[in-house]
Amino acid sequence: MVDPTSDLGEEGEASAPRCASCEEPALGVERRTVTWVADGSVERRHFCGEACREEWGR
């Protein structure tokens, strides 16, 4: 959830989620997130871009 009192996009590399495919920080406008519900809990994977998201799905 985004903190409504902070500016969007101010995440730094240290606090950014890691890409599920390449382990690089998932930052910027190319960032993608896949979210689903499994066994009653929310699961999500972050990706640094569309290419990594597609690679993860294979």
pLDDT at 39: 95
pLDDT at 45: 95
pTM, whole model, 2 decimals? 0.73
pLDDT at 25: 92
Centroid of chain to Cα 49: 9
In order of 6, 8, 13, 39, the CA distances from 56 in angstroms are 31, 26, 21, 21
pLDDT at 17: 92
**pLDDT (tens place) for every residue of the chain, 58 residues total:** 555 555 555 567 888 899 999 999 998 889 999 999 999 999 999 999 999 999 987 6
pLDDT at 7: 57
